[in-house]
Structure 1
Amino acid sequence: MLPVSNSRALQVSSSPFLPTVVPSLPRSPWPPSIISSLKTCKTMRDLHQFHAKAIKTGLIRDPLVAAEVLRYAALSDDRDLRYARLVFDEMREPNLFSWNTLIRAFSESEFEPLQAVSMFLQMLNDAAVHPNRYTFPSLLKACARSGSLEEGKQMHGFVAKIGLVSDGFVLSNLVRMYAMCERIEDACFLVQSSSVSSEAEVGVVLQNVLIEGYFGLGMVAHARQVFDEMSTRSVISWNAVISRYAQIGLFQESMDVFRQMLVVGMLPNYVTLVSVLPAIARLGALDLGEWVHLYVEKNKIVVDDVLGSALVDMYSKCGNIDKALELFEGLPKNNPITWSSLIGGLAMHGRAKETIDYFSMMEQTGLTPTAVVFIAVLDSCGHLGLVDHGRAYFARMTKFYGLNPGSEHYACMVDMLGRAGLLDEAEEIVMSLPMKPNDAILKALLAACKIHGDVEMGIRAAKSLIKLAPCDEASYLLISNMFASLGDLELVAEIRLLVKELDIQKDLGCSWMTVDGAIHEFVTEDDQHPRASEIYAMLEEITTKLQAAGYEPNSSQVLLNIDKEEKDNFLNYHSEKKAVAFGLISTRPGTTLRIMKNLRVCPDCHSSLKFISKIYCRSIVVRDMKRFHHFENGVCSCNDYW
């Protein structure tokens, strides 16, 4: 446990309060079948019909029936709090169960959680009802969700007054309330000073709450310290750390904790797997992802739409789209997220026709596509040159489904129109955007100007791009390439000089791959890998064979003010080439090399990887920041479109 000063006691508000009394529900005079029929309600419409019948027959006078009607209206999946409040107000003598039901419902509501506290204050006026250990967790949750520290301290006062601080259920919610209200010191003090925190089961729960609290405040090191110092860890403890690491982008740490969990013999459960799969997908650790899938099958874990979507997404992002397709076919098709995982994966792998086909199948099911799905569809239309289809899908997205296009949708439209030579229409979209154009939109327009040689529009786009991203080397690179393609070498030289004068730093290229379960990372001009000497020797061999095969380096992407020989040498040590070299010396002949990259593949690496795939008879799969490239026998699946 982290050290916390004990020099002060918590300052909490208090109020006179009667001892807890748990009321007993009266025995219902109605047959059990009546209550059973109420529990079969599946929608609020069903409940309305039952409620009307109950009022007509007098059944609603039974406190148990009224309480069940209230419970469904307040807590079911399609809950209606307005209706629940009306039901409650019509109850002649609501019992504690009914008060707790409505308090809990308000605490879980999206817009008015503090209504739970208002209900509690009304409850205090009912002399026949007294709160119990099930009342305060909901109240504390309402305070935590709304960040209402003062109300939370008042609830702490009530809890202390009636002696519920020693109740583990209530205490854990008190700790969570202080943590979510950014009073982590108070949360720690409560845990340390509580007499029940030493009990093994309660102690683990409280430490789990602290871990969540630290993560919520961005205090990652503190959260990990609490976790590492736990004498006993439940599967919930492991899940909390694994999921939180993944959520904040620390994917390697998430996977490391998962592996540690397996080493100590703690069996992962459904939540563990759903939590770690996004990290596996992000890092492209296919071997570990396949292990997770095998674990699911061996342990007969139910693959529902959530776990199924995570597995489909993992296979897609780890480069095995065919396995993702196979898995998808066996899943329930009633969740748009499942479709989104597959359709997005197909688009990322450049399988544009299948992307559109599966989108059509999704629409036939009656599901509403997500905004993410439309990004994949619009990208695929651009890939296939289906401009009319792209316009139609964009219109359908807004007019039929009521989805508001984001910057990524507009970037897809500009890219699609620009590649088709419809530059005026593309620029019109940029000029009439409902938001300021971002760098992706302007880069799409500038790239189209380069392709079609529209200098005037290109200069307009370039000025806007530099104004928006004055320190982004990629912006100057696009501008330089446009002038280079037009043969204006003086302007190219000016752009490169400007980059040097502004001291613009290039984003560091990083590539990684998994070999024998270990992730190996490679950075341009970095020789820290344990097998660096072997990697550089293989790079020399690759360079020699590329030259013999007629490969010519493409140094257009190098803005450094150095001569051509130095530029060519610089290109030889790009991170993805290092990863390929490592893969060639570390795997058996014929093994597919799967490489992940944090930036987009440059034209030179793209060209050289096509040659390497043919020279060494290897399939090479590269995932850059935008899409997958499958290199095989000298050809790339993207058809040089990226």
Structure 2
Amino acid sequence: MLLSASPNSLDSSSSSVLLDLKKCKSVKDLRQLHAFAIKTGQIHEPLMAPEVLRCAGLSDDRELDYALKVFDQMAKPNIFSWNTIIRAFSESDEDHQQALRLFVEMLHREQNGPNCHTYPSILKACATISAIEEGKQIHCHSIKLGFNTEEFVLTNLTRLYAMCGSMEDATRLVQKSFLSHENEANAVLHNILIDGYCRHKLISKATKVFDEMTCKSVISWNGMISRYTEAGLFKEAVIVFYKMQDENVRPNFVTLVSVLPAISRLGALELGKWVHVFAEKNEIEVDDVLGSALVDMYAKCGSIESALQLFDNLPKRSPVTWSALIGGLAIHGRARDAINYFVTMKQDGIMPTSVVFLCILNACSHGGLVEEGRVHFNEMIGIYGLKPKIEHYGCMVDMLSRAGYLQEAEELIKKMPMKPDDVIYKALLSACRIHGNSEIGLRWANHLLDLAPGGGDCCVLLSNFYASMGDWKAVAEMRLRMKKLDARKNPGCSWIEAGGEIHEFVMEDNSHPQSSEISLMLVEMARKLKEEGYVPDTKGVLLNVDEQEKENIVLYHSEKIATAFGLIGTEPGTTIRVVKNLRICKDCHDWLKLASKIYERRIIVRDRSRFHHFESGFCSCKDYW
């Protein structure tokens, strides 16, 4: 490069220095060129100082302190320089207030005032720091100078109000804009509204805006898919993905990365495979980002072998890719494999992140590898200097509690640097019930109640705990408490993919078009299973009803309904894949083990925390869940 030569060998023409500044890629090179411009007097030429400022403030290797010093040395900065320094601070991760201070200074010093390029930057700074009052004043100023209808100004004004929660003002701006429906800026404005409504949890209003858009860009579709997924509306995200294709809008890289998490949560393996094939056919690069999403999808849809195969063929692997695979192995109960890949990751020179350690601890918990879990927890802190988050402590408490190390789990909770959450208390109490340790359970029961007094799940867990002790008075009190607080347990919900559709079932569900056939299949299954020695486990039913009614209640758990539908809706020998939002109960676990043997089907169920592979009367979890 020219800069590698001595300063005396540099071309002294200002056009050459300007050209070098435009190609400048480092602060070191910039300083050299700046010094040369000062030494030769070229810094006083009209274009030179502004170009030095642009390079210092807006390049990838920007240095704002240096840019500000360059700006302060300008006797009479032009409008380009003002816009450059304001934009530099508005786009940075540093002092956005400085952008506001510079804007105010500009109003006092710049004779001609701001132009249409000034407002987008200063409005962005206001939006970033939620400076709504200052933003309103700047809005008024743009109206005064007639810039408020400029497309870039209008979009940034709308974004300001949307990000600050003033959705009425944002909507009013869009409604009063004179942009045609075909104008690309009109789609941008509506995308901002959708983002704003979703940001403030107003999903139905976002949906209304999206549905009413007459000209949707691919960004509009991607945004809606992404926002539905973030809101936990996975089925809705997939429906938008289908509609996108119905309207002949071609999915791009961002579309695939956005929809794959929703597919993963629904366990829609066939749709996930289609996305993978689509990417390859349309030459969409499966890099570490899309590759990680695909590995995660295959793992969470129950096809861990496909996840492993894809992972091995990826040209590049990031820590996210490794955590996707290790986390996938963990939820499939393949703890030893997860640890082996973790060792390989470190051997490849990849620094483990806190997310990777969370996956490893989860693997140890599901696999009952207590000593390995202790080692990796200490390794995380002592060797890699990572500070455990509450999720890491939750994994440790879960691992120790499952394995019966209840006193050690209790001591860990006491030593935690942060206040335990309900997940930690639930893990401990569930284990106390399983291991019959009422002493420790009673010590912590009230902590859970204090943390989530109206939580239906917490109340049910406590009811089950008291019932396991035979304390029926406490059970009655808990039920009365739930009634007074109108506390409800999250309803069990299961999904199954069949015939290119995702079918959803809830407990005692009869809304499906084939509900009569499903019900007949359930009755037939119950008869066949009982002939093989199945006895319904109704201990979890705490309602005051007779035993037959309790048996009917457990018969219609959502995963049983989904499995029955799978048996009548798929070809013999086909693997049945079910996803459930809650932890599978013991009765359903026993039921599915026996059903896999009687109907000679492989049944894969993903519950709230892990996979269960039922085959020939056995489960991959070895009844340790």
> Could you tell me which residue of structure 2 aligns to residue 48 of structure 1?
28
Q: Write out per-residue CA displacement over residues 167-206 of structure 1, whole angstroms, 9 at most, x where no aligned residue.
A: 2122211222233233333333333333345663333333
Residues 264/196 of structure 1: CA separation in 2 closer, same or farther (3 Å cut)? closer
CA contact (8 A) 1:73 1:83 kept: yes
Q: Are the structure 2 counterparts of residues 70 and 316 from structure 1 closer, same or farther at C-alpha, using a change threshold of 3 Å?
A: farther
- What corresponds to 2:14 in structure 1? 28
Seen in structure 2, the aligned counterparts of structure 1 residues 538 and 224 have a Cα distance that, compared at 3 Å, is: same
Kindly indicate whether the alpha-carbon contact (under 8 Å) linking 1:476 and 1:495 is maintained by their aligned counterparts in 2.
no
CA shift at 1:478, angstroms? 5.5
The equivalent residue for 2:476 is 497
Question: Which of 597, 610, 616 does residue 580 from structure 2 map onto?
Answer: 597
1:624, 1:72 → 2: CA distance? 54
The corresponding residue for 1:16 is: none
Once residues 621 and 85 of structure 2 are traced to their aligned partners in structure 1, the CA distance between those partners, rounded to angstroms, is 56
Identity of aligned residues (%): 54
Q: Normalized per residue, which structure has more helix?
A: 2
| Range moving further from structure 2, 121-130 or 594-603 | 121-130
Q: Per the alignment, in what secondary structure is the counterpart of residue 605 of structure 1?
A: helix
Q: How many angstroms does 1:91 deviate by?
A: 5.3
Q: Is structure 2 residue 135 aligned with structure 1 residue 152?
A: yes
Measured on the aligned residues, the alpha-carbon RMSD in Å equals 3.0
Task: Give CA deviations for 1:357-416 in whole Å, capped at 9, x if unaligned.
Answer: 222233334444333322221122233443333223222323444433233211221232
Residue aligning to 1:215: 198
1:118-517 aligned at under 5 Å gives the runs 118-127=101-110, 131-197=114-180, 200-333=183-316, 335-470=318-453, 489=470, 491=471, 493-502=472-481, 503=483, 505-517=488-500
Please show how residues 10-89 of structure 1 align to structure 2 within 5 Å.
28-30=14-16, 34-35=20-21, 38-39=24-25, 41=26, 47-48=27-28, 50-52=30-32, 54-55=34-35, 58=39, 61-62=42-43, 70-71=53-54, 73-76=56-59, 79-89=62-72
**Counterpart mapping for 1:558-637 below 5 A:** 558-637=541-620
SS of 1:544's partner is helix
Q: 1:241 to 1:450 in 2, by over 3 A?
A: closer
Worse-superposed segment, 325-334 or 585-594: 325-334
Residue identity matched to 1:156: H
State which drifts further: 511-520 or 189-198: 189-198
Shift of 1:298: 0.9
Cα offset, 1:353, TM superposition: 1.3
CA contact (8 A) 1:289 1:315 kept: yes
SS in 2 for 1:520: strand
| TM-score (normalised: structure 2) | 0.88
Q: CA contact under 8 A between 2:120 and 2:156: conserved in structure 1?
A: yes
Answer whether contact 1:313 1:324 (CA < 8 A) is retained.
yes
Q: Residue 605 of structure 2: SS of its match in structure 1? A: strand
CA gap 1:505/1:31 in 2 versus in 1, 3 angstroms = closer
Residue 229 to residue 501, structure 1, CA distance change in 2 (3 Å): closer
Against the structure 1 CA distance between its residues 70 and 391, is the aligned structure 2 distance closer, same or farther, given a 3 Å change threshold?
A: farther
CA contact 2:21–2:52 (8 Å) conserved in 1:
no
In the TM superposition, residue 301 of structure 1 has moved relative to its aligned partner by 0.9
Cα 1:184–1:333 shift into 2, 3 Å: same
Cα 1:431/1:287, change in 2 over 3 Å: same
Distance 1:513 1:202, change over 3 A: same
Q: Is the 8 A contact 1:496 1:561 kept in 2?
A: no
Any conservation in 2 of the 1:513–1:595 contact (CA below 8 Å)?
A: yes
> Which residue is 2:4 aligned to?
none
Q: In structure 2, how many angstroms separate the alpha carbons of the residues matched to 1:284 and 1:412?
A: 24
Q: 1:103 to 1:304 in 2, by over 3 A?
A: farther
Q: Gapped runs of 5+ residues in structure 1? A: 1-26, 42-46
Further displaced range: 378-387 or 565-574: 378-387
Contact kept, 8 Å, 1:344 with 1:372, in 2: the verdict is no
The 1:120/1:515 distance shift into structure 2, 3 A limit, reads: same
Change (3 A) 1:529 1:595: same
Distance 1:71 1:364 in 2: 43
Work out the CA distance in 2 between the residues paired with 1:82 and 1:641: 58
Instruction: Note if contact 2:30-2:56 (Cα within 8 Å) is conserved in structure 1.
Output: no
Return the alpha-carbon distance in structure 2 between the equivalents of residues 336 and 306 of structure 1. 10
CA distance in 2, matches of 1:231, 1:481: 53
* Equivalent pair of 2:24/2:55 in contact (CA under 8 Å): no
| Amino acid aligned to 1:189 | R
How many angstroms apart in 1 are the aligned matches of 2:177 and 2:446? Answer: 63
> Counterpart of 1:210 in structure 2: which amino acid?
L
- Distance verdict in 2 for CA 1:602–1:432, change over 3 Å: same
Cα distance between partner residues in 2 of 1:414 and 1:393 = 14
- The 10-residue stretch of structure 1 (519-528 or 395-404) with the greater mean CA deviation from structure 2: 395-404
Mapped to 1, the partners of 2:462 and 2:209 lie a distance apart of 51
> CA offset at residue 528 of structure 1?
1.5
Contact 2:14 2:42 in 1 (8 A): no
Task: Report if the CA contact (8 A) 2:235-2:266 is conserved.
Answer: yes
Higher relative contact order (CA 8 A, sep 6+): 1
- Aligned in 2, Cα 1:512/1:152: closer, same or farther, shift over 3 Å? same
- Compute the displacement of 1:259 (Å): 1.0
Q: Deviations over 1:253-299 (max 9, x none)?
A: 22212111111111112222222222222222222222211111111
* Structure 2: distance between partners of 1:104 and 1:565: 72
Report the equivalent of 2:5: none
Structure-2 separation of matches of 1:472 and 1:165: 49
Asked whether the 8 Å contact 1:178–1:186 carries over to 2, the reply is: yes
- Quote the Cα distance in structure 2 between the aligned partners of 1:172 and 1:613: 57
Displacement of 1:612: 0.8
Shift of 1:543: 0.8
TM-fit CA distance, 1:603: 0.7
Deviates more, 1:348-357 or 1:211-220: 211-220
d(CA) in 1 for partners of 2:194, 2:462: 48
What are the superposed Cα offsets for residues 305-325 of structure 1, whole Å, 9 maximum, x if unpaired? 222222222222222222222
- Cα pair 1:104 1:139 within 8 Å, conserved: yes
Instruction: Call closer, same or farther: CA 1:473–1:269 in 2, change over 3 Å.
Output: closer
**Contact 1:610/1:631, CA 8 A, preserved across alignment:** yes
The structure-2 alpha-carbon separation of the partners of 1:60 and 1:411, relative to structure 1 and needing over 3 Å to count, comes to farther
Write the deviation string for residues 550-609 of structure 1: whole angstroms up to 9, x where unpaired. 222222222223333332232111110000000000000111111111110001111111
| Whole-angstrom CA distance in 2 between matches of 1:571 and 1:115 | 63
Superposed displacement of residue 234, structure 1: 1.8
| Distance in 2 (alpha carbons) for counterparts of 1:578 and 1:220 | 30
- Give distance in 2, aligned partners of 1:252 and 1:227: 17
Whether the 8 Å contact between 1:473 and 1:499 is mirrored in structure 2 is no
Tell me, in whole angstroms, the C-alpha distance in 2 between the residues paired with 1:231 and 1:223. 15
Amino acid at match of 2:578: I
- Aligned residue for 1:13? none
Does the CA-based 8 Å contact 1:609-1:631 persist in structure 2? yes
